[in-house]
């Protein structure tokens, strides 16, 4: 067993988990418009569901408005319907190939709901990291069983891997706390 390869694999997988969490948080609505808010919207065009960013350009001309410029005029209705049905609580308005999405102010109740969703995303990231950790620890234990490494190496490797996970978990907590603060700020 090559420990350096295992550690690099663990660091890569946990970094990917953090990237997924960042993307999920970017899609959560705060009090201001974000071009990433519509990242999760899928539009039924050309016989399949496509991500919005593959059929239109999203821009934020100010803090309360998103402009969605649809590339193909035939898809404007589908894009508008997909945005309306996305569950974001926004009402798009069409003017030619441009769809304007005004961001209504969040109610206190909606802010609390979004905070819970952000917490759920953070918990899913932690679960994913625990699974990665469990897999890595299993590989180390198998290496001891197969007499590839000593028990002293096992303890040293496990402590080292645990430090990586402790750091990544702290990052998840910090990201969740920051997102909660963003959501709750008026």
Whether residue 131 sits in one domain with residue 94: no
Report the domain count for the chain: 2
Answer yes or no: do 118 and 180 share one domain. yes
Looking at the whole model, is its pTM more than 0.75?
A: no
- pLDDT at res. 186: 62
Predicted confidence at residue 96, as pLDDT, reads 85
Q: Which domain holds residue 81?
A: 35-102
pLDDT at residue number 30: 67
10-residue mean pLDDT series, the chain (186 residues): 88 93 79 76 88 89 88 89 82 88 81 87 94 93 90 91 93 92 79
Nearest to 172 by CA among 125, 107, 116: 125
User: Any idea what the CATH number is for the domain that residue 57 is in?
Assistant: 3.30.1360.40
Rounded to whole angstroms, the Cα distance separating 23 from 21 reads 5
Domain edge (last residue) among 63, 82, 102: 102
Do the beta carbons of residue 52 and residue 39 sit within 8 Å? yes
In this structure, are 82 and 22 located in the same domain? no
Give the pLDDT confidence score for residue 25 in this predicted structure: 84
Same structural domain, 112 and 179: yes
Q: Are 91 and 41 contained in the same domain?
A: yes
In this structure, the answer to whether residues 121 and 178 fall within a common structural domain is yes
Same domain, 111 and 179: yes
CA distance 95 to 56: 14
Domain identity same for 72 and 162: no
Q: 84, 102, 120: which is the final residue of a domain?
A: 102
pLDDT at 16: 94
């Amino acid at each position: 067993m090559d420990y350096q390869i295992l550690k690099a694999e663990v660091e890569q997988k946990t970094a990917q988990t953090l990237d997924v969490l960042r993307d999920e948080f970017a899609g959560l609505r705060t009090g201001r418009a974000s071009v990433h808010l519509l990242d999760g919207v899928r539009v039924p065009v050309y016989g399949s569901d496509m991500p919005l960013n593959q059929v239109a350009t999203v821009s934020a001309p100010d803090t309360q408005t998103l402009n969605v410029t649809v590339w193909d005029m035939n898809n404007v209705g589908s894009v508008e319907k997909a945005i309306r049905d996305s569950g974001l609580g926004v009402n798009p308005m069409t003017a030619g190939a441009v769809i304007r999405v005004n961001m209504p102010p969040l109610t206190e109740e909606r802010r609390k709901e979004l905070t819970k969703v952000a917490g759920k995303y953070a918990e899913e990231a932690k679960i994913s990291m625990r699974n990665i950790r469990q897999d890595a620890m299993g590989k180390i234990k198998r290496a001891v069983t197969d007499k590839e490494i000593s028990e002293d190496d096992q303890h040293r490797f496990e402590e080292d891997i645990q430090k990586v996970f402790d750091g990544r978990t702290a990052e998840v907590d910090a990201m969740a706390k920051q997102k909660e603060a963003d959501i709750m700020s008026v």
